[in-house]
Each structure stands twice: as C-alpha cells, then as structure tokens.
Amino acid sequence: MNRPTDTQTMIQAASPTGTTPGYMPGFGNDFETEALSGALPEGMNSPQKCNYGLYGEQLSGTAFTAPSHQNERTWCYRIRPSVKHSARYEKIDLPYWRSAPDINPDVISLGQYRWDPVPHSDEELTWLTGMRTMTTAGDVNTQVGMASHIYLVTASMQDAYFYSADSELLVVPQEGRLRFCTELGIIDLEPKEIAIIPRGLLYRVEVLEGPARGFVCENYGQKYELPGRGPIGANCMANRRDFKTPVAAYEDRDAPSTVTIKWCGQFHETKIGHSPLDVVAWHGNYAPVKYDLRNYCPIGAILFDHPDPSIFTVLTAPSGVPGTANIDFVLFRERWMTMENTFRPPWYHKNIMSELMGNIYGQYDAKPQGFAPGGMSLHNMMLPHGPDKDAFEGASNADLKPEKLDNTMSFMFETRFPQHLTAFAAKEAPLQDDYIDCWEDIEKKFDGTPGKK
Ligand SMILES: [Fe+2]
C-alpha cells in the first residue's frame, strides 16, 4: 500500500533548485542544509548547547584518519541522538537477502548464465522482504566484495526503518517509483536514475508507483567514487554537478516503530517509540546521492577499433589494488557508432573480472534476443563470452555507415572477485537453461585459404 502522505510530515529545508523533494548539486561536496533556520551551529561542530535543544552527532563514513581527499563524515543536529533509536537487538531472518560468502555446494557458479526478469508475485513485499540476492562475491566480514540483488517491492515500509552497517547500496530501478526517506533527506527514484545509500544511513522506503523492480549492487568495500578520466580531461562521462544530494528533512513522529539493521550478513530488529528520521540540520560530505543516467556523456572511438568497456564507467569502488576495482558500475547507453572497418559490437573475450549485467530498457547490441529489460546475465571470472551468431554475422557484414544505437540502456556490475550464485538465482529465478546455446551455431570459417573472410 502506498503511503505518500507520510513524507508530507517530513519538514524539508528550502530547496536551492526549487524542486520537491529538494536537492543540492555535486558529488562528494561538503554540503550544509537546515530545515529550521539557525539549527546549524556557526563556525563549530559541537557547541555546548545546540539551538532548538537539538543533539549534535557525527556520522563517520571513513576512518577518522583516512587521507583527506577520501575522508567523509557528516554532522547531524537531531531531535534525539541515535542511541535513542535503538534498544535491545533481536535476530531476525530475511532468507532471500544473502551475504558473501554464500557458497552452496550443490550450485555451480562456473558457467555463463542469463535470467529472464524475475516476475512479481501476489505477495506484499517491502524493501526488506522483497530483496532477492542473485550473486555474492568476497566476504562481508572483511569488507571486500559485493552482492547483486533484484528487488521486487509492492508495499511501503510502515513505521519501519533500516540501515546496512555492511555496505553502501547502489540502487538501479527498472520499473516503478520509490521514495527513500533518509536521515539526511528525501530521494525520489525512478528508472533511468540511480541512487547511492551510504553505509550506516537510516531510511524508510515507500512505493510511489508500484510494483517496483530494479537492481541493487551492495558494496562491502571502499566507497564508490568517480573514475579518473586521465587524458580525457575535466569533462564528459559522469560530471560532478549532475549528482544530487537531498536537502535536510525531518519528522517529529511518536509511534511504535521497528528498526532493522544488517550487520555482518545478519539481520537484527530493535523496537523504539518514534521515528528516527529526526535530523533537522546537517553539514558534511557523507550523504546519499542520486544521478540521472541520461546525463551520462559517453566517450568512444571516432575512427577505428574501440576501447575497453571501462570507457563507460560511471562509478568505481576501489579495492586497494590500483586500477582493479572492487566494483565498477558501467553503463551501455545510446550512442553513435562511427568506426570504420571495425567489428563494432563487444568482442569475444575472457576477463579476470566477473561481469554481471542487467537491462534497464531496450535491446543490447551484442545480444539482440533473449536479454530482456529486467533480465540479468553473468559472465564469471575467466569464462569466455561475446556476441551470439546473429550479432557476429550482422556486424561482420554490415555496411559501416554512422549508426545510432538507440533505445538501449544496460549496465554492468563488474568486480575483481568471482561471483557465486545464490540458491535463489540457481533454483527459483527464471534461469535460461539454453543461454549457452546462443554460441552453438557459430561456425568454423577457416580452411587455410588465404584472403578468406
Ligand atoms: Fe564481457
């Protein structure tokens, strides 16, 4: 059931852009925002007494001593400190939301896999009960790796709140509209947009338009950042100004409430008597953010050949090994193909990185059939893949005029760690048993004749 009226009880700061909800532009900026005038202390973080009787509290997103260019924290001025937003904890079970390592002895992860869109059921599902883990990689306890999920959401969280201590969540909607009412403000999200919900940030998810389906990449490791552009320079790809962080919003609501916490792969509940979304003002650089993928400016080949798909990286989460990401989020969207004398689709390859793809809308050029919007595919570490026969023959024999790839938006969650299928992905989700057959009729052309093509 939708509860759009709930967010109306959240009192927002004035929006610099005049939109509802209000957002502030920039990626990783040091923001300041207040829903009540004078709620932010001037020139200091921790005054002896905060205005309005608020409590000052710091949320540290990186270690205190992280290098300055990576150091992230936010100061919150709230009705109650967070210690009042938790009581005793009780373990609960959310059996479909898995964490790494989740290696099932009777599931084979070695293989090329593809799934049809996971269908909605008649069951009422929230952000928590509707999360379906497809793959896990690395180890949640050592804060390396990731998990990929599909969410199927039909119901708003009712006086219920959540945070993940394990991870930041990259949310990629494919269908429906969701509202994330967070401690630091409100984000509305729809297909063609993405959002990053930071580790430790409390929120409630409401359905604005359902049913809602999409993809989530749960990042156990170092935070997402924008990739270095190198010789490309200061512009194009994802530009900082196109990212949007919400203005402060709070609710002063007394009602029996449940807070669920994901911590080291397990879920815990705690009961409180009020809404924890009570941050009246905040300043800092650790905050949720949304981005419209239609603002992504792709760079590509303009004479012959084409670069590696890393040229389409929107966000990268480093692993500690330079250039070897814990996760890259890569976008394949509309673009012109102009290369001469070139096989234009992605080439055949094997990759040390593991590639999980999802289709947001349209048709992907290497797989014109079978990879539907809402569907996913997995090409795991060092497993060969590439165009199917029709895509190969079509591209090999095409008249190479400039051509626009239109109506297409797919993405990849690419990680340095092998991805393991969950029991849900292997046994319940609509796995295409015949995916491997898409390469079956690729024929041998070689017969030793020079000049044969
Ligand atoms: Fe690939």
Q: Does domain 296-439 have CATH number 2.60.120.10?
A: yes
pLDDT over threshold 80, residue 8: no
Is 306 part of the annotated catalytic residue set?
A: yes
Mean pLDDT of 176-182: 98
Which residue of the set 149, 274, 306, 349 is catalytic?
A: 306
121-134 pLDDT, tens digit each: 899 999 999 999 99
- Is 140 in a helix, a strand, or coil? helix
Q: pLDDT at position 12, please?
A: 86
Report residues near ion ligand 1: CB below 5 Å: 355
What is the per-residue pLDDT across 254-305, written as a single tens digit (0 to 9) for each? 999 999 999 999 999 999 999 999 999 999 999 999 999 999 999 999 999 9
393-429 tens-digit pLDDT: 999 999 999 999 999 999 999 999 999 999 999 999 9
Tokens of 368: 């014109």
Nearest CA-CA partner of 317 in 293, 265, 275, 353: 353
Q: Which two tokens stand for residue 7?
A: 């967010």
Per-residue confidence (pLDDT) for residue 356, from 0 to 100: 98
Query: At 18, is the pLDDT very low, low, confident or very high (cuts 50, 70, 90)?
Result: low
Distance 414 CA to ligand 1 centre (A): 9
Ligand 1 centre distance from Cα of residue 235 (Å)? 26
13 — pLDDT class (breaks 50, 70, 90): confident
pLDDT of residue 1: 31
Tokens of 153: 């959401």
Measured in Å, residue 346 CA sits from the centre of ligand 1 at 8
Give the mean pLDDT of 352-372: 90
- The C-alpha atoms of residue 92 and residue 176 are separated, in whole angstroms, by 28
Q: Are strands 144-153 and 203-219 parallel, antiparallel or unpaired?
A: antiparallel
Tokens 């869109």 belong to 117
The answer to whether the CB of 54 falls within 8 A of the CB of 39 is yes
- Coil vs helix vs strand at 215: strand
Measured in angstroms, how far is the CA atom of residue 416 from the centroid of ligand 1? 13
| Tokens of residue 315, six digits | 């966000």
Phi, psi of 395 (to 5 degrees): -75, -30
User: Cα separation of 382 and 390, whole Å?
Assistant: 24
Helix H or strand E encompassing 157: none
Side chain identity at residue 196, one-letter code: I
Distance 219 CA to ligand 1 centre (A): 20
CA–centroid distance, residue 304 to ligand 1 (Å)? 20
CA of 397 to the centre of ligand 1 (A): 22
